[in-house]
Chain A
Amino acid sequence: MTRMANPYVPRRARIESIRDECGGPRPVRTFRLAWADEPTAPFDFLPGQCVELSVIGVGEIFLSIASAAEDGDRLELSVMRVGRVTSALHALEEGEIVGLRGPYGNGFPVAGWHGSNFVLIGGGIGQAPLRSLLHHVLAHRDDYGRIQVFHGARSPEAMIYRDELEAQAASTDLDVYLTIDWKMGDDGPLDEDAREGWPRVALDDPVTTEVAPGQFRFTGFVPQVVDAVSPSCGDTIAVTCGPPVMIGLAVQSLERLGFRPEQIYTTLERRMKCGIGLCGRCNLGPQFVCTDGPVFSQQQLLALPEAFA
């Protein structure tokens, strides 16, 4: 009897470093991983693809990769602490070993996007797959046009990747629009101090909110900021990832700006188990988010049941 490879078995990966991205009740940490048995072996994947990450003995989670293959022989995963496995993961230290299998899913169809402009719209941990895409695009900067990154969080402290995005905006041809929810921080309404550096209401005047060349700051919900900035839809791909409510409103904003469904992409989140189309859990009608997704165009989603559930 021929012995087939067991697709459920993860490989050992070493946590090389851990970076705190944000605190609060749902903290996010970024884990930088290398293959434990072959530290210089590369990770090969497309931006937007996913992995299954195991804390052996606790369980496994399906995650969008937060880095790009061009970043080298390390993989970065940003993990929000929300449940059992993510809590166990947050308790691990540098040098410890996790299980990793993948990459899974389709990833962003970047090969077909050469020459495009990008509007990336992320909220919270949804920025992780967009970071993967952005790293890829910046590694091939000449292949693409204008890049506008919208990124929102509930408060300045809850904003992940902020330093990196502002540094990218400072050093590269890239516009970054950061926004916080002006009504609520993690501990209730924001006071003036917490809002320091973040204009209270300037949605109607994006120009005055430019805090440095290419760096803009707002207070407001991400889709409102998109409305205010009104990116052009010509030759542009828009990708939005984040909470379902935000995605829904961002798509409406984009459509008002003239984006057609085939220009708008998103990554979907579902509860996942197997990651390989077997356990049945992540179906959108006849398709599986883990194998057919997680990246879908708005055009595809309009034809799939429960896509907006």
Chain B
Amino acid sequence: MNIALENISKRFGEVQANEGISLAVPAGTIHGILGENGAGKSTLMKILSGFIRADSGRTFLDGAPAQIRGPADAIRLGIGMLHQDPLDFPPMTAVDNFLAGRTGAWRLSRPDARRELEERQADFDFRVDPGARVENLTVGERQQLEMVRLLSLGARALILDEPTTGISALQKDRLFAALRKLAADGKSIILISHKLRDVEMLCDEVTVLRRARVAGRAQAPYDLNELVRLMFGRVVTREPRLEVPTGGPLLTLDGLAVEDHRLRLAGLNLEIRAGEVIGLAGLEGSGQELFLRACGGLLRPAAGRLRLAGRDLAGEPYPVFRDAGIAYVPAARLEEGLVAGLTPAEHFAIVEPGGGLVIDWKLTMEQAERRIAEYDIRGAATGPVDSLSGGNQQRALLSLLPPGLCLVLLEHPTRGLDVESASAIWRKLLDRCADGAALVFTSSDLEEILQYSDRVLVFFGGQVAGPVPASAMTVERLGEMMGGQP
């Protein structure tokens, strides 16, 4: 399908999210959309998929003007979108997710749907268990399910909003192969990403957005420096690794065992030193989350000891961990990290230490302004956090961490952040290390793990290998270990 957007504008209250954006995607091509956090990428694509409505502007499909009044119209016209945070129904099974929203006989036939799901998955070498609950699937699998679902609805244009954050290297290879195959079939694909390498590998053409407008366009082969300049208005480079000398032992795990109903980690022994950064590598759902939750006091260990500066915290309730200076930053930012509906300023008021019963709004607003400036959160301090762009929600979450922590546990700390904000966040985190805090983090970006960690733990199906010094590792070796090769 040939897609053309003409002069699209959209404003949310005070924020102009899109301004006079035009875009053309010929059938059979893969089009990349680049731009820093908050540039307006998701907004533009939500407009194309009918999820929100533009204030002005027109859409043409195969040359004819199209009226897209809502998602139902877009689906009928053959446009499907994979949202930045998977928009599915977590407690329901994969088949039910596949079926929900389809038209057809009013009575469900799950065996038929299951067969169709399996058949369509086989086309792309996807392997989602139709009977599994979606909340137990990895982000990559949820994405595969959504993609197959959209194609089954007859999508001829597929929009993917940052599909490569939070998925494994293998899943990414499968995804890219699938997208190439779809483009070869004449479908048009639009890919939003922060990762220049992904765009370089996949896209025939890119459009760069900055501050709600089109900053430029480019065609393959790309000059990556030029793309970066278009995205940020200047050249950004990755900084060399900051060396922080490590201190004495901070957290000691002694035969720790943790489990939930899916997975069991046992016999963990580890000594984390002050100032150290530990990276946790592994395919999603291999046990990293259990590990972090146990260290953060959110999951009671089944056995073993967890000593912080000599004091055994295993079995203590969460507030004890928190008061001891341990913080946990979850991956599901809107579900566990932030309170949807509250503004950033209100969040700051909640976490501000001390303080009386009554909120001093003047002081809070001042502090909010300070933190917003410090973490460069773009968007209004007085609007609800869930209306921030994905990357800015992540910044807001990190800006809530109190000062003086001794152990910070992070899941995908730079998920959805552009290169510039990612290094800004890391600068802030490493400052804490210089003050004697230790960091433990997960990431699906292996380069990030090797760049920032001192030592790496590799998780595979509940088995933990390592710790290995990051300096002795390569991305390839790490990939092998994550796949279970010793």
A, B assembled together: no
